A and B are shown apart, each in its own frame.
Chain A
Amino acid sequence: MSVFRWPWNRDRQTDDLADEFRAHIEMAAADRVARGEAPWEARAAARREFGNPGLVQEISRDQWGRAGMWLERLVQDVRFALRMLRRAPGFTTVSILTIALGIGATTAIFSVVDATLLHPLPFPHAEQLVRIEDDFAGVGGGARDVGMSTPEWRDLQRSGIFQQISPMWFDDNNLTGSARPQRVGQMSVAPNYFAMLGVKPQLGVTFDPADATPGFNEQAVISDGLWKRAFGGDSSVIGRIVQVDSDSYRIIGVMPSGFQPPEPTRGARATDTWSAFGFSGAPLSHESVVRRTPLFPGAIARLNAGLTIADAQRRVDALVETLRRQYPEDYPSRSDWRIRLVPLQDYVMGDLRQPLLFLLGAVVLVLGIGCANVANLLLARATSRGRELAVRQALGGARSRLVRQLLTESIVLSALGGVVAIALLLSTRSLFIRLVPDGVPRFNDITVNWEVLSFALVASLIAGAAFGLAPALHAGRLDVTRVLKQEGRGSSGSREQRRTRRLIVVAEFALSLVLMSAAGLLARSFWTMLRAPLGFDAHDVTVVRTRLPYPNDPKEDLYPTAAAEEPFARELMRRIKEMPGVESVALGSGAAVPLDHPERDQTQRHILIDGAEQNGQSVFVTGSEVTPEYFICCECRW
């Protein structure tokens, strides 16, 4: 027995009713024949007695639940809507393309937002991962992320707030010992770095987290990219000795292709080799590792399980307070030294969150304008369909049913637009991906997944309801007699309809204005930025980056002191100057290139100027060392 009548059973149950009625009529006819009527007469009489089977069937079906009825009507409405749309191919095509454009753009941007902002970083318990940044809040309007010293790192390790903490140090090195010399991005990390992130190599092992070597342990983990590029994906690479600048490293592991270090800059994410460093021994001098002045650019840490970032921040603040009292010389109160914990996801996304959300808002506006356009088209069409709607109402079509049917029509239209948008998105995926700057973190995670598809679906449903509402409500208030009387007369719709159309145009104009002014501001800012005086003339200036070897063993260092570096520097400048076409040449530390990407600026100095004050605060400047020719060379104007 079936008490519940599921909608998909309805066809079968309708057949059951038809069978039942047929049997009823046959039995009635048979009884009449038995009573002596002629067979053909009996059958006709039985039919007459039964009544109209179609009608009986319909009122019997009305006894079935409302859910089924609702679905049946929906299917009817959708079928009718498709018929109506097919009858107006021009209107349908234009509307679908308009909606497809809006939904396609919105969904495309959403797929980027989804991959970068909505999904946690691809590490186990990513919510425990933080980046630790040191600030001098009191100087020069607040100097942020100035770097960390080895003693501070040790203090944090002992604090019991973190499971692991790993400082990081970036270098560019020459790698030899593979097929051909390579320029590689090298990242020096604490031995617990990979254990902290919870990532496993695809080949070999990573560093032993318990390794306590103060300097480099001369093991290297390499990226999948370098492994394929320089070693042809050969698995015998494990155990191979390679030269990184002047030092020998043994390769112990290869990271999987999907692994990227969680860093905000493209350069840092393109790291090729990792080496384990204790940050407290050679090649760093003893003075530099016991000093409480920034030595390396911050650290990444994993919080103890169950500790929220806010709780951890409170405990770190308390620790900072103690340290400030303990070392007043290193942390003068006017510098207002603080340690800030930043969720690793925010650190990786950097300044990208706002532009992405801004972009999403912009494409949603575009979708809104598209909706307004289609709503206007629909209203114009409703005017020409006025007679049809009036006739249907005169014949007994319920107003609510008509409204629902018109809404269904616009939602079908919008759903078709969504389908076209997704089809376009999937077929132009590679093209679209190429438009995304590859500086976007987690670029590889951008996909059209179920979340993106459901977003597109919901967006098209909402869009359909939005642009279908006005025409549908107008149909509900249709004046049947007036429309029917206006036979043959051209009409631009009721006064009310005209008013709605004007309102929609106004809304559309307002949306466009917002978009236009935002775009205008953006273009203006860009133009201003292009024309901003840089303070130097970048024309005909070439930058060559190089550095003297800095071997792990200080005894092997050919240039241990500035005095030892001097002959090399002078000779280098003399020879470059002699090259044809060279006008002037200058040397400087890494941070000396103006407006350079600061990603690997470990040579930048933060200088607190004694006695100098600005707005009552100490002045804090960043600086780098240059030779006297530097300002002539880049034609600085000030």
Chain B
Amino acid sequence: MSPKDPPTSRIELLQGTLDFIILQALRWGPCHGYGIVQLIRSQSANVLQVETGSLYPALQRLMRQGAISQEWGTSSTDRRVRMYRLTAKGRSRLAAERSKWEQLTQAMAGLMAPPAAEER
């Protein structure tokens, strides 16, 4: 984590959430590991910080499951780097998890609605 990040902004990710977030990040096209970290960070407004110790095992696991595939590209620093790409299987899994998450967030939003609104 960089010193700029406020300590309170870090959220422990639930098991299974990380896979969804990675697949979500890869929706925009093939990306390497570092790119995925940056994407998640910027899109979550610096709230979600993925540790490499979680990211890389998750990428290996997703590859083994066939949700993503690998190809070799060149990094901005001119180095051979592994790029990850969503497969058809990964896309359908992403769609399934998305609807699950939408239901969950709606339910959470309902639970967290101010009590005043409830009494009305």
Option from A1, A5, A56, A64 in Cβ contact (under 8 Å) with B69: A1
User: In the complex, what distance in Å separates the CA atom of A171 from the CA atom of B37?
Assistant: 96
Known: A1-B70, A27-B34. A63 touches B57 (CB 8 A): yes
> Which of A14-22, A330-338, A365-373, A539-547 is the interface stretch?
A14-22
CB pair A20–B76 under 8 Å, yes or no, is no
User: In the complex, what distance in Å separates the CA atom of A17 from the CA atom of B57?
Assistant: 11
CB pair A56–B34 under 8 Å, yes or no, is no
CB pair A24–B34 under 8 Å, yes or no, is yes
Q: Is B120 an interface residue (CB 8 A)?
A: no
Q: Contact mask B17-44 → A, CB, 8 Å, 1/0? A: 0000000000000001110001000000
Q: How many of B's residues come within 8 Å of A, CB to CB?
A: 27
Within 8 A of B (CB), among A16-73: 16-17, 19-24, 26-28, 30-31, 45, 49-52, 55-57, 59-65
Shortest distance in angstroms between A3's beta carbon and chain B's nearest beta carbon? 6
Shortest distance in angstroms between A59's beta carbon and chain B's nearest beta carbon? 5
CB pair B33–A20 under 8 Å, yes or no, is yes
Q: Contact mask B76-102 → A, CB, 8 Å, 1/0? A: 110111100000000000000000000
Give chain A's interface residue range (CB within 8 Å of chain B). 20 to 34
Q: Please indicate the chain B residues that have their CB under 8 angstroms from the CB of A30 in the complex.
A: 76-77
User: In the complex, what distance in Å separates the CA atom of A126 from the CA atom of B79?
Assistant: 69
Q: Please indicate the chain A residues that have their CB under 8 angstroms from the CB of B64 in the complex.
A: 3, 5, 63-65
Q: Please indicate the chain A residues that have their CB under 8 angstroms from the CB of B56 in the complex.
A: 17, 20-21, 56-57, 59-60
User: In the complex, what distance in Å separates the CA atom of A59 from the CA atom of B53?
Assistant: 7
Q: Please indicate the chain A residues that have their CB under 8 angstroms from the CB of B70 in the complex.
A: 1-2
Q: Is B105 an interface residue (CB 8 A)?
A: no
Within 8 A of A (CB), among B65-79: 66, 69-71, 75-77, 79
Q: Contact mask A161-203 → B, CB, 8 Å, 1/0? A: 0000000000000000000000000000000000000000000
Option from B32, B38, B52 in Cβ contact (under 8 Å) with A50: B52
User: In the complex, what distance in Å separates the CA atom of A382 from the CA atom of B33?
Assistant: 48
> Which residue of the partner chain A has the closest CB to B32?
A23
Interface centre among A23, A26, A59 (most CB of B within 10 A): A23
> Which residue of the partner chain B has the closest CB to A31?
B38
User: In the complex, what distance in Å separates the CA atom of A52 from the CA atom of B61?
Assistant: 20
Q: Please indicate the chain B residues that have their CB under 8 angstroms from the CB of A26 in the complex.
A: 75, 77, 79
User: In the complex, what distance in Å separates the CA atom of A51 from the CA atom of B55?
Assistant: 12
Q: Contact mask A102-136 → B, CB, 8 Å, 1/0? A: 00000000000000000000000000000000000
Q: Please indicate the chain B residues that have their CB under 8 angstroms from the CB of A55 in the complex.
A: 53
CB pair B77–A23 under 8 Å, yes or no, is yes
Which residues of B approach A to under 8 Å, CB–CB?
A: 1-2, 32-34, 38, 51-53, 56-57, 59-61, 63-64, 66, 69-71, 75-77, 79-82
A-B contact pairs, 14 of them (CB 8 A): A1-B69, A2-B70, A16-B82, A19-B82, A20-B32, A21-B56, A23-B34, A24-B32, A24-B34, A26-B79, A27-B75, A49-B2, A52-B53, A59-B56
